[in-house]
């Protein structure tokens, strides 16, 4: 009987979940937690309790930056607890993450995304490519840094920047006085 086989596996089969102890004793990145806590307080102060919404725009990157800031969402970093969230439309965002040198094909898309976002919108140039074109600088296919298309408020260098550096950059952007 399939049903009893299933019950047998469920009740007496091997355990497939992690041991509780190993999870409890997982090392915590204290530096990251500290930045996160500070960010949490800053966002609470600036946005009155709601979270900071981020829209990521890939303007022609190698996806290295994407992997890093996607890591922010995973179970280890879990930035949602600090009050940051990624949204699916520029209509909902407070902050734009732009990665990669702006290719000519995506120049218009980046511009319309910025125009569609409600102001004030903080623009973060993520990675060396976004800052000045990186290794594609002066190529015929790219426009150059993000600041050639839309105004940039903060630049996070690195190729790609580590998640903690991204968070530090966001914190720095929020602590700026003028946008």
Partner 1 sequence: MTIDTLAFGFFVYFFGLFFAGCFALLGGQWKKSVQLFVLVNVIGFITGILYLFNFAPKEIILASWSWLFDFAPTVNLLSAIFFTVISGVSALVGIYSMRYLQLYEKTYNPALTQFLTVIFVLGMQGVLLANNSLAFMFFWEVMSISSFFLVMADKTSQSVRAAFLYFIMTHLGASAILGGFLILSGGNLFFEFNDITFLSANLSPMLVVLTFLLFLFGFGSKAGLVPFHVWLPEAHPQAPSNISALMSGLMLKVAIFSFIKIVFAMTNLPDWAGLVVIALGLLSAIVGVLYAVVERDMKRAFAYSSIENMGIIFTMLGISIYLLSQSADDSIVVVSNIIVVFAIFHAINHALFKTALFLSSGIAISRFHSKSLEVMGGLAKIMPFFSFAFLIAILSAAPLPPFGTFYGEWGLIQNAIGLLHNPLLSSVAMLVIFGSIALMGLISGLAVFAMVKIFGISMLGLSRTAHIDERSEKTDFLLSAPVMMLGLGVLVLGIFAKSIIGWLNGYGDVLATSTSAESISAITSHLSSSMVFLTFVIFLALTYALYNFFGKNVSEREYKTWDCGQSIDATMQYSATAFSGPIRFFFLHLLGRDKVLKSAAVVETNHWIRKYTFSLSLRSVWKDKLYQPIAGILNFLAQRARVIQGGRIQYYLLFVLGTLIVTLIIVL
What's the min distance (Å) between Cβ of 102 and partner 1?
12
Give CA angle at 58 (54, 157), nearest 5°.
Answer: 80
Per-residue x/- track, 61-90, partner 1 (CB under 8 A): ----------------------------xx
d(CA 28, CA 10): 33
With CB under 8 A as the rule, give the number of residues binding partner 1: 13
What is residue 126's DSSP assignment?
A: E
User: What stretch of H or E contains 100?
Assistant: none
Nearest residue (CB) to partner 1, 45 versus 111: 111
Distance between first and last Cα of the chain = 68
3-state secondary structure of 117: coil
Nearest residue (CB) to partner 1, 121 versus 131: 121
Nearest CA to 114 out of 126, 103, 123 is that of 123
Query: E strands within 7-153?
Result: 52-58, 84-86, 95-99, 102-103, 122-126, 142-144
Which of the residues 98 through 157 are near partner 1 (CB under 8 A)? 106, 108-110, 112-113, 115-116, 118-119
Nearest residue (CB) to partner 1, 101 versus 161: 101
What's the min distance (Å) between Cβ of 30 and partner 1?
40
Nearest residue (CB) to partner 1, 67 versus 116: 116
Nearest residue (CB) to partner 1, 63 versus 112: 112
User: What stretch of H or E contains 156?
Assistant: strand 154-156
What's the min distance (Å) between Cβ of 33 and partner 1?
36
Interacting residues with partner 1 (CB under 8 A) = 89-91, 106, 108-110, 112-113, 115-116, 118-119
């Amino acid at each position: 009987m399939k049903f009893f086989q299933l019950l047998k596996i469920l009740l007496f089969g091997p355990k497939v979940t992690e041991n509780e102890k190993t999870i409890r004793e997982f090392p915590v990145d204290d530096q990251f937690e500290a930045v996160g806590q500070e960010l949490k307080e800053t966002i609470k102060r600036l946005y009155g309790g709601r979270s900071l919404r981020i829209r990521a725009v890939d303007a022609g990157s190698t996806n290295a930056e994407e992997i890093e800031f996607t890591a922010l969402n995973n179970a280890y970093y879990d930035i949602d607890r600090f009050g940051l969230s990624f949204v699916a439309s520029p209509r909902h965002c407070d902050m734009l993450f732009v990665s990669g040198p702006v290719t000519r094909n995506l120049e218009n898309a980046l511009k319309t995304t910025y125009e569609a976002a409600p102001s004030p919108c903080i623009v973060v140039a993520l990675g060396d490519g976004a800052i000045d074109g990186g290794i594609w600088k002066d190529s015929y296919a790219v426009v150059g840094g993000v600041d050639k298309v839309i105004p940039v408020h903060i630049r996070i260098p690195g190729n790609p920047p580590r998640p903690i550096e991204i968070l530090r950059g966001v914190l720095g952007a929020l602590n700026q006085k003028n946008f």
